[in-house]
Every structure is written in structure tokens, then in C-alpha cells.
């Protein structure tokens, strides 16, 4: 969203009339946000119960896209709003937006946490200030051993419980050496734990960035899966602060969204937030 | 109801001056991110210089926590999340954590804090956590918050957190009657739960409705009246955060805050202009110049 | 309610139209149920939050009577229904009745338990299969030491938490030696505990029966307070299975409801359930 | 929603035969006292001879528990409350407890059982109880249910109960769409909570509504669809208990049951006449002769 975009407060409205964002050019380029949403969508399965937290623009688009294509029985728990199966009309930047209440049900937020921590979800979307080779994510703070905090993040929020929420899909909107580090300064979300390796807990299944798609090997090391169009292996390695494992053969190019997927993503997103977000 | 029933409707200044001790043991503010945060009550607390020994920041605190911390009114914050979602990190909280050590921070998580609040509400002395937390840095970082017991059913070590009963909760409902029966017109976030759990609840609303309307639609009452110590009617009281069905959040103003508060001086002048100087909510609204308030005062069904 | 009373199922109705019970003679005698309701009402204070469980016909009438007379700021939590401040129009025999949803709010039942156990209520109404000299109540079972169950009751329900719910008002609709025993076979509701004597916990404050009103001495022994009209001290002692403490002077006669109180009770109770219940 | 979304609407016989194992680990039935009990589902389970190793009876079980126990389909009952409120005690449960020892009874209480269910829902291994329970006979009667830990915050001994995650919950909503989004038109009792907590939920409804109606009023949805394994439409499915807004409980029939079930023979003939013999709900309704069913089939808004 551009900085000179000036929304006004929304007037009182009935539940089926929502805040309108200014329209964007739906004939424009395929953006990184579109590619990331489509990749995440493909990782979702029919019947999955998918939960997301704050700042979940791309995951929300991905989950709704999956619902409208290959996963009609997927359930979306739209973060702070408590909305269940929001129609995502339109895609809104804040997880607690009223737009997410064009939905089938609205849970109290403690109930969302309960379902997540109680193991009633299949997929959890997560991010972090730092992500390391083992898939650990840090949303608390960075700092050195003497206790000096160099960057105070928001806090660990719901990340500690990702392993109870099924497959974690980790995503970031910037791929740099500051984000992808050898070892996080603080573990908010445990990555490749022993329990994950044994298959008894969930854990990071996929990592999606503006440059590429990664996963974890069985040994719990982050590995390149595919490069987004126009991105080279060098781009990724230069911007990754640890030795990234590589696939046995040359990494393929991440598939673009199909024309139908792109049409749906643009329809859900009249303000082209997916273009602006990355 | 009998005609001699006592109203709980108070003006905001009276509510805060009479119901919030000058030094309050602990505070939990309702809403999440840029939604449903009772900002008018928070600004009034700051204006009156109320101090809070402990602030619980979960599930997702934002402007309220950042202003209170920046204004130096919080001694200790138990942090699950303080931030501004897609708009960025919390500038005053950052400064407090990165530059000075004036505030004590207990590193926690939103799930454990909500379970602690739930334990408090039920009168349980502590809450047992699901397995997994031991794999995070939290248990090492906050050993007095996360403690251990032995599971008497199978001998496993379990982490637990002590029950939390906030002394004061500030909550926003879209509507309420004068007896404190609050109605959420959109998401309830963790606010119904918080309102049932806290020792004292002050409720801020957009509009007062008749008790007869509450009696006609009791299933829509989000918080029963006896839990509210006072009901305070304020126009646009959540601004710059949203009030579902009434108005969206004001991201222009939130960005203005984030930009200003990036420096200590900027924070001080924001605090002065929008919190300390305004004599009331109307004055505050006049100072917010990017909104056409008149266009959105329509009644909500 | 007489046995040949035949209600039909209620048709779908809007929230302000309720099931009508056949009317009863509002000019009839002052019944024991009226006296018990008025006595309980007098024990309630303005501002009290009053919670009741199953089978709470008399407590519900008492709480609403108090609200309409001396305690306009009293709050009623009407048991299973979750109704808060039901108008009691009309008084219904089951705590979960839809009639109790003519109210200001409707809580989920776990929330009612939470408020009760969390100490957010001031008065709790309780009963029992057996009640003993110390005010202990038994709702589980009676039986002998060898483990043989002689009368299986429903179970302890919410009674164990009475001491967390403020002042307990114990009531029964039959006063016999089977009910009032030296020592209960099973403690569902702890009566005069050490904590109660020290004032740090709630506990039984008043016991109301069809014959009399009782309380507990500071030493935790049940004591006669007043005799209902027409009841003699001998009636009470013959029907009480332990040595009942007596007041220093002769026990007074329980006050009858005032004409205004009686009018209200009869208005709330068109089916005269308060006449039938005792 | 996509047109190829799978419906969860099933006929009652199929729902029970395919979704209820012949021997089910544990069962929790919704409703309280004579309200909102999914009796048609319970009768179908009995008809198909489904067995339940453990039945959780709380906050207030009544006819469903008594029939299942009397029919010999329950091995172990964890009892908070089984009774008929103002109508009397539970006759089959009484007989099982007083006369034979065929059933194992764990003496418990409704508060602890709801906390155990809540712990299960959150993935907590156990729930700590508020102080006071140690003053009751419960902790001596049921030492394996009520266990002790030491409070790590102050060293006090605390009683705890193990988390409960019922294998199966049977729940009644007044309405639902075909995807399982259930709507309570009156009290939710503990049923929303149970529906969020159990491993598998079968939902019984009076009527199916369009998904469009659910989308229009999402705040009234009591249970989100993904928690329901199946939705079963049955007319008067709670009879003889009530379904708020639809019909009251049938106290004539409940008294008929209590009178019959006072003896083992009477119980058997009631079971035969009203549970085993009826080929379906319509047949059941024909056998209940004290009701003018036609007078009360009006639609509820």
C-alpha cells in the first residue's frame, strides 16, 4: 500500500457491505506476493484446518485460494478477528479487520488459541525477525550474550505452540542475512526438534520468501526447494546467513500461479495488497 | 428492573479518577492489534497520571501499551505481543527495551498469558502448559514466570504459569445499557473473557442503548452488567484503532504516531498534542486533522 | 404441580412470548413456599451476585423478589440456563427453562461455573440429600461403612465449590430425620470448615426448611432461628436427627411475607408452583 | 463456498453406524437436565448396540445417561450429576449403584469435570483445582481422579484432575447448515464448549438452514462447521427434553419414564417400546401418545 493512500473511517455498515479499498490494475504484472500465495496454497490440503496470526495477508489469500480451487473443505481460522471461513472479500491487511467477519462463524480469540494449542488445527502460518538453519523462529528480540537488546520485536505471541498446530508454513516478506541467520538469538518457535524428527510433533514444513521456497531435510536442515522466476541461486546464497542445503539436482523455478489462480487472487485483492506487500 | 436501580454510566474523567487507583497493581487492556482498543480510557488514564505496576500485554497489545510504556507509567510489562502488525514494531517499547532499563520486561507468550488469565478467572492457583514450551527460550529467559511441577499422572515434568487476576481491565464494547450490559457488534477478541476475569472492569462504548433492547436480545449481550464497574460513552473512543461496525482503524494517524514516536522527542510531542493537551475527546478529535468525522457519525443498527 | 397437569410442548415463540402455565388461585393461602422465598429474599443484599443450581424454584423467586423490593442492584445467575437477570416471567420449575432467557444476558454454563468457582459471586443456593449439624451437605449417596449404597443421589454437582461462592443458603423442601442427620455419609458441600470459622471462606449462612429457619453458630453448630407459623419447637426437634442448638430466648415465629411481597410472588408464579413445591 | 464442498448432512442411522465405533472409548452428551439433550442420537446409539467404555456425566446429565446405563452399554461413569432435577432421581443409575456392581462409578463433581474437559481442549495435561476440594469426601472417595501436586509458587499442596478429551460428543443445535455450522437459538449450556473440545462431534438439529444464512449472521453461529463430523436432521430430536425456541420438555413423558424405570422390568419395557422397537423418529413419535405433534411444527425464525 502506498504511503499517500488515505482511507477514511468506515461508516456504520451492515455485515455484507464492507470497506472498499481503491482498486488496482488487475492487468498488471505477476507479483512476488502472488507467487508466494500460490506456493502456499499448493501446500494446503483439502480438509485442512488452517490457522494464522498477525500480519497474515499472504497466508489468508493462500488459504482462500486453496478453498476456491483444490481444497473446498479447507477451514480458515482468520487470526485475531476470530472469523471462521471468511470469504476474504476483500483481502485486508490486518488480521482483526471487520472484513474477516464476512464469515461462517466468529470465535472468541481464546477459542482460536485453544484450538491451536489443543491440536485441532492442521496448518499454522508463522514468521519471525530471525529464522535459522533448523527452522527456529525468533519474534522476541535480537541481542548479544551480555544481555544487550539490539532489536526489540513484539514478543513470542502464539509461536511457541506451532508444534502443536500441525504443519508450520514459515513466511517472510524480506529475505536477507539479517533474517536468515545461523542460529536465532531467541527461540520463539522451535523448529526441527527431536520430536519433529520422530514425527510425533508438527514443525516447519515449508519456508516461503520473496526469493525462493525452502523446506527442512529429514535431518532438520533448511534446504532450497525452488527459485522464484528471475532469482538466481547466488541471490539466495548471498542473502542467507547459513549454509543452505541444496537439492540433489539444480533447483527448479517456482511455478507461477495459473491464470485461474491469478484471476482469483486479484479478485480477492482489489487494492493489490499482494503487489505492495513484498 | 426496578426504577431505583443504580446507573453505571459515568463521564470518563469521573470514571477514571474514582475507579482507577493512582497506583494500580495490574492492568490488562482489551482489543487486539489496531482493533477495539479503549483508547479514550487509556488516554484519560495517562492524562490523570495513573501508574500501573504490571501491564499484561496479550494476546496482541499495540498503541495502548506503547503509549503507557512511553509515558513512563508502567513498571513491569509481561509481554506476549506488543506491536503494530503490518505497520511495524512498537517504538516506545523498543526504546524502553533497547536503550534504557527503566522498565522490567517478563518475556512470555500469548498462549500462556491467556491460560494464566483463565486460571485466575476460575480461581485455579496456576495453569499447566501443554508440552512443547520447554523447547523455546522462554523457560530459560523467564524462570520465575515458567515453573515446573511433576505430572502426578505419569511423572513427566510440566511447565506451569501462575494465575493472573488483573486488578483493572479496560474494555470497549460497541454498545451497552446504563447497567453495563455490553454488546459486541463485531469480534469479541479476548474481551468477553477478560471482562469476566478481571477484578474491576471499566467499559467504554460508542453508544448507550435502552435496557429494553438488552432484554429483547439477551443472546447478543457480550458481557453481563454486573462485571462492569462503570460504563463510559465516548464518540470514536477507539480511535485510531477500529470499532467493528462503527469505523475502521485510522492508518494515517497510526503511521503518524509511528513516525513521531521513532524518537523520544517525537514521542513527547505526540503525547503532548494528542494525550496530555486535549481537554476531552472532542478536543482530541479536532486535533486529528485527517478525518472527516461528520461523514461517519451515522447510527449503527 | 399436580400430577394430572398436562402441558403441551411449546410452539416456536419469539423471546418475549413464553410458555403459559395454567393460572392458580392468587387469593389462596400463604404457602410454605411463599414463606421460604420471603425469608431467603430478606437474606439477600443490594448488589449481591446470586448464583443457583438445579431445582431452584424457591431461590429464583426469592432473588427476583429481592430485586423488585430492597435489592434493585442484585444480579441473578439462573443456573443451567445461563440467564443473567431473568425477569422470572413466569417462574419455571427447571433451571434450564427457556423462560429464564427473558433476561439481560445468557452465559455459557462453563462461564457460570467459572464465576462461581472464581469467587465472583456473593450468594450460592444449595441443597442436599442429607445435611448435618455442621452444615455439611451430601448430594452424592448415602450408605454404610462397608460401602453398600443405600440411596444413590445425583452426584456432587457444583456443591464442592460453595465455599468459593460467598454465603451459602441451604434449603430443602422436606424436613425429616432422614435429611437432617448427625453426620452426612458423604461431604459434597463442606459446611463449617476452619477457614469458614476464620472468615476466610464462605459457608452456610442460613438453612431454610418447610418448618423453620436455622443458621450456624460461630462454633459451627446448627441453631434454630425461627419457627414457621403453626410449627412447634417439638415438630422441629422430632424431625431433626441431631441436637439442634437453640437461641437464647424462645425462637420467634418466622415473619410472613408482606402483602406487597406476596403480590409479587404470586405475579411471578401464575402456576402457583410455590404452593405446590413444599 | 465452492460447489464441490462435501456435505456433512447424513441420515441418523448412517451417521451413528459409520461414525460411532462399536466400542467407543468415551462419550460426553450435550444438554443439561431436561434441555437440549440429543435424544434421537442417543436412542439410535442404543438401538445399534454401541458400547461406551467411559461416560462423562456433567454438568447435569439426565435421561441420556440413565438410558445408556440401564441398557448396560456403559462400563464406567464419571459422575458429576445424573438426575432429573425437580422430577426426581435417576432410576436406572440408582439401580446400578444400589443393587448391582456391574458399573464402575467414579465419584466426581461438575466443576472439576468441566475443568478437565477444558484442559483437554487446550492440550493441557491436567487441570489444577481451586482450593477447597480437599474439604470434601471426593478426594478420599476418588483418589485416582483427584491427585496432588505441590504448587511451585508457594509450596502448597493442590489437587489436580487429568485432562479429558472425549472420543465422541453428541450435541444438539436448533439449526445448522449442511457443513455443520450450528446455531443455538437459546441457551448454549456447555455445548459450544464441548463441541470445540471433543475428538469427534455428531450434531443433531431441528432444521437445516442455507449456508447463505450462516454467512449473513456469523455472530450467531454457536459451533463452527469443521468441528462437526456429521449433521443429522431430526424432528423433535430432543424429545422428551426441550429444544429452546422449538418446544418445551415433555414432563408427562418424563414422568412416565421415571415411573416405568422404577423397576428393572418397567425399564426394559420402556426401552423396548420407545428405543429398541421404533424403526425411526416418526415411529417413536407415534408411540408417544400424549403429544399433539402437529400443533407445534411451526417454523422458528
Neighbour-count burial of D227, counting CB atoms closer than 10 A to its CB (0-12 exposed, 13-18 middle, 19+ buried): buried
**Interface chains of chain A (3 or more CB pairs under 8 Å):** B, D
> For residue A147, what pLDDT is reported?
78
All cell numbers assigned to C82: 445461563
Phi and psi of D257, rounded to 5°?
A: -60, -50
- Using the predicted structure, report yes or no on whether residue A15 has a pLDDT greater than 80: no
User: Residues of chain D with pLDDT > 70: what percent?
Assistant: 97
Which residue of B lies nearest to C117 if distances are taken between CA atoms? B122
User: How far apart are the C-alpha atoms of A203 and A215, rounded to whole Å?
Assistant: 11
> For residue D1, what pLDDT is reported?
44
Residue written as grid cell 472464581: C118
What residues contact residue C61 under an 8 Å CB cut-off, 6+ apart? Answer: C33, C37, C88, C91, C265, C268, C269, C274
- Residues of C within 8 A of D290 (CB-CB) are 6
Poorest-pLDDT segment among B239-243, C253-257, D287-291? D287-291
> For residue C12, what pLDDT is reported?
34
Q: Do chains B and D touch (3 or more CB pairs under 8 A)?
A: yes
- Using the predicted structure, report yes or no on whether residue A14 has a pLDDT greater than 80: no
In total, chain D counts a number of residues equal to 301
Which residue, D169, B86, B257, is CA-closest to A60? B86
Question: What band does C146 get if pLDDT is binned at 50, 70 and 90?
Answer: confident
All cell numbers assigned to D6: 462435501
Is the bond leading into A123 cis (omega within 30 degrees of zero)?
no
- What is the SS3 assignment for D151? coil
Average pLDDT value for residue range D66-75: 98
> For residue A110, what pLDDT is reported?
98
Give ipTM to 2 decimals. 0.95
Q: How far is B142 from chain A (nearest CA, A)?
A: 12
Please check whether residue B287 is in contact with residue B274, taking contact to mean a CB–CB distance below 8 angstroms. yes
Q: How far is D205 from chain A (nearest CA, A)?
A: 17
- Give the mean pLDDT of chain A: 90
- Residues of D within 8 A of A75 (CB-CB) are 224-226
- Residues of B within 8 A of D153 (CB-CB) are 125-126, 147, 162
Helix, strand, coil shares of chain C, percent, nearest 5, are: 25, 20, 55
Average pLDDT value for residue range D199-224: 97
> For residue B292, what pLDDT is reported?
79
What angle (nearest 5°) sits at the alpha carbon of residue A64, between those of residues A60 and A68? 170
Is D3 within 8 Å of chain B by CB? no
User: Residue C174's CB: how many other CB atoms inside 10 A?
Assistant: 12
What dihedral angle (degrees, nearest 10) is formed by the CA atoms of C196, C201, C203, C206? 90
Please check whether residue D234 is in contact with residue D40, taking contact to mean a CB–CB distance below 8 angstroms. yes
Residue written as grid cell 492440550: D123
Question: What band does A244 get if pLDDT is binned at 50, 70 and 90?
Answer: very high
User: How far apart are the C-alpha atoms of C185 and C200, rounded to whole Å?
Assistant: 26
- Residues of D within 8 A of C12 (CB-CB) are 245-247, 296, 298-301
Average pLDDT value for residue range A234-261: 97
- Residues of B within 8 A of D123 (CB-CB) are 130-131
Adjacent-strand bridge partners of A137: A131, A189
User: Residues of chain C with pLDDT > 90: what percent?
Assistant: 81
Average pLDDT value for residue range D219-226: 97
Q: Can you spell out the DSSP letters for A101-120?
A: GSSSEE--HHHHHHHHHTT-
> For residue D291, what pLDDT is reported?
83
- What is the SS3 assignment for B19? helix
Tell which of B69, B115, B187 to mutate to test the A interface (max A CBs under 10 Å): B187
> For residue A129, what pLDDT is reported?
96
User: pLDDT tens digits, residue range D123-166?
Assistant: 999 999 999 999 999 999 999 999 999 999 999 999 999 999 99
Is D200 within 8 Å of chain B by CB? no
All cell numbers assigned to A44: 494446503
All cell numbers assigned to B220: 447478543
Q: Strands C203-208, C212-216: parallel, antiparallel or unpaired by DSSP?
A: antiparallel
- Cα distance from N-terminal residue to C-terminal residue, chain D: 24
Question: What band does D296 get if pLDDT is binned at 50, 70 and 90?
Answer: low
User: How far apart are the C-alpha atoms of C68 and D49, rounded to whole Å?
Assistant: 52
Which residue, D59, D141, D45, is CA-closest to D97? D141
Q: Strands A123-126, A105-106: parallel, antiparallel or unpaired by DSSP?
A: unpaired
Question: What band does B295 get if pLDDT is binned at 50, 70 and 90?
Answer: low
User: pLDDT tens digits, residue range A53-76?
Assistant: 999 999 999 999 999 999 999 999
What angle (nearest 5°) sits at the alpha carbon of residue D234, between those of residues D232 and D235? 160
- Using the predicted structure, report yes or no on whether residue A12 has a pLDDT greater than 50: no
Q: Inter-chain contact B126–D129, Cβ cutoff 8 Å?
A: no
- Give the mean pLDDT of chain D: 95
- Using the predicted structure, report yes or no on whether residue D289 has a pLDDT greater than 50: yes
Q: How far is A116 from chain D (nearest CA, A)?
A: 8
Q: Inter-chain contact D187–C159, Cβ cutoff 8 Å?
A: no
Burial B94-129, CB ≥16 within 10 A → b, else e: bbbbeeeeebebbbbbbbbbbbbbbbbbbbbbbbbb
Is D151 within 8 Å of chain B by CB? yes
Q: What's the alpha-carbon Rg for chain C, to the nearest Å? A: 18
What residues contact residue A273 under an 8 Å CB cut-off, 6+ apart? Answer: A1, A21, A33, A57, A91, A93
Is the bond leading into D240 cis (omega within 30 degrees of zero)?
yes
Average pLDDT value for residue range C31-40: 97
Q: Where are the beta strands (DSSP E) in chain A?
A: 49-52, 75-78, 83-84, 105-106, 123-126, 130-132, 137-138, 141-143, 149-152, 167-171, 180-181, 203-208, 212-216, 222-227
What residues contact residue A27 under an 8 Å CB cut-off, 6+ apart? Answer: none
User: How far apart are the C-alpha atoms of B134 and B138, rounded to whole Å?
Assistant: 8
Amino acid at each position: 500500500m502506498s504511503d499517500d493512500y488515505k482511507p477514511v473511517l468506515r461508516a456504520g455498515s451492515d455485515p455484507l457491505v464492507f470497506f472498499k479499498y481503491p482498486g488496482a490494475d488487475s492487468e498488471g504484472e505477476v507479483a512476488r506476493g502472488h507467487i508466494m500465495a500460490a506456493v502456499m496454497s499448493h501446500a494446503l490440503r483439502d480438509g485442512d484446518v488452517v490457522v494464522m496470526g498477525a500480519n497474515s495477508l499472504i497466508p489468508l489469500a493462500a488459504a482462500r485460494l486453496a478453498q476456491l480451487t483444490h481444497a473446498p473443505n479447507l477451514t480458515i481460522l482468520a487470526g485475531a478477528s476470530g472469523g471462521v471461513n471468511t470469504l476474504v472479500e476483500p483481502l485486508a491487511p490486518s488480521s482483526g479487520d471487520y472484513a474477516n467477519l464476512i464469515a461462517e462463524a466468529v470465535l472468541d480469540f481464546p477459542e482460536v488459541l485453544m484450538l491451536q494449542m489443543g491440536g485441532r488445527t492442521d496448518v499454522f502460518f508463522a514468521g519471525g525477525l530471525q529464522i535459522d538453519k533448523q527452522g527456529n523462529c525468533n519474534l522476541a528480540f535480537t541481542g548479544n550474550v551480555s544481555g544487550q537488546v539490539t532489536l526489540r520485536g513484539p514478543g513470542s505471541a502464539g509461536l511457541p505452540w506451532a508444534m502443536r498446530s500441525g504443519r508450520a508454513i514459515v513466511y517472510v516478506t524480506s529475505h536477507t542475512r539479517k533474517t536468515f541467520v545461523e542460529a536465532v538469538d531467541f527461540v520463539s518457535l522451535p523448529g526441527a526438534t527431536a520430536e519433529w524428527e520422530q514425527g510425533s510433533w508438527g514443525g516447519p514444513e515449508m519456508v516461503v520468501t520473496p526469493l525462493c521456497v525452502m523446506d527442512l531435510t529429514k535431518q532438520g536442515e533448511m534446504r532450497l526447494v525452488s527459485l522464484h522466476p528471475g532469482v538466481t541461486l547466488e541471490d539466495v546464497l548471498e542473502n542467507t546467513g547459513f549454509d543452505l542445503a541444496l537439492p540433489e539436482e539444480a533447483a527448479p523455478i517456482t511455478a507461477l500461479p495459473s491464470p485461474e489462480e491469478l484471476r482469483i487472487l486479484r479478485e480477492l485483492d482489489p487494492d493489490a495488497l499482494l503487489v505492495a506487500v513484498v | 428492573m426496578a426504577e431505583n436501580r443504580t446507573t453505571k454510566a459515568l463521564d470518563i474523567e469521573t470514571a477514571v479518577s474514582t475507579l482507577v487507583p493512582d497506583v494500580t497493581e495490574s492492568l490488562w487492556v482489551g482489543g487486539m492489534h489496531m482493533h477495539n482498543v479503549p483508547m479514550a480510557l487509556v488516554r484519560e488514564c495517562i492524562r490523570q497520571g495513573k501508574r500501573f505496576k504490571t501491564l499484561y500485554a496479550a494476546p496482541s497489545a499495540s498503541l495502548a501499551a506503547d503509549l503507557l510504556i512511553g509515558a513512563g507509567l508502567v513498571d513491569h510489562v509481561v509481554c506476549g505481543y506488543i506491536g503494530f502488525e503490518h505497520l511495524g514494531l512498537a517504538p516506545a517499547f523498543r526504546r524502553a527495551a533497547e536503550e534504557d532499563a527503566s522498565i522490567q520486561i517478563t518475556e512470555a507468550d500469548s498462549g500462556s498469558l491467556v491460560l494464566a488469565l483463565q486460571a485466575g478467572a476460575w480461581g485455579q492457583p496456576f495453569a499447566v502448559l501443554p508440552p512443547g514450551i520447554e523447547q523455546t527460550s522462554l523457560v530459560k529467559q523467564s524462570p520465575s514466570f515458567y515453573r515446573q511441577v511433576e505430572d502426578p499422572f505419569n511423572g513427566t515434568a510440566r511447565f506451569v504459569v501462575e494465575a493472573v487476576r488483573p486488578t483493572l481491565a479496560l474494555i470497549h464494547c460497541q454498545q451497552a445499557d446504563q447497567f453495563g450490559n455490553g454488546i459486541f457488534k463485531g469480534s469479541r477478541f479476548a474481551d468477553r473473557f477478560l471482562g469476566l476475569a478481571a477484578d474491576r472492569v471499566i467499559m467504554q462504548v460508542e453508544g448507550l442503548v435502552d435496557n429494553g433492547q438488552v432484554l429483547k436480545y439477551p443472546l447478543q449481550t457480550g458481557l453481563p452488567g454486573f462485571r462492569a464497574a462503570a460504563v463510559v460513552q465516548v464518540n470514536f473512543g477507539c480511535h485510531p484503532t477500529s470499532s467493528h461496525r462503527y469505523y475502521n482503524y485510522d492508518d494515517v494517524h497510526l503511521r503518524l504516531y509511528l513516525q513521531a514516536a521513532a524518537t523520544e522527542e517525537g514521542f513527547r510531542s505526540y503525547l503532548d498534542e494528542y494525550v496530555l493537551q486535549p481537554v476531552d475527546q472532542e478536543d482530541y478529535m479536532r486535533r486529528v486533522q485527517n478525518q472527516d468525522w461528520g461523514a461517519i457519525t451515522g447510527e449503527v443498527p
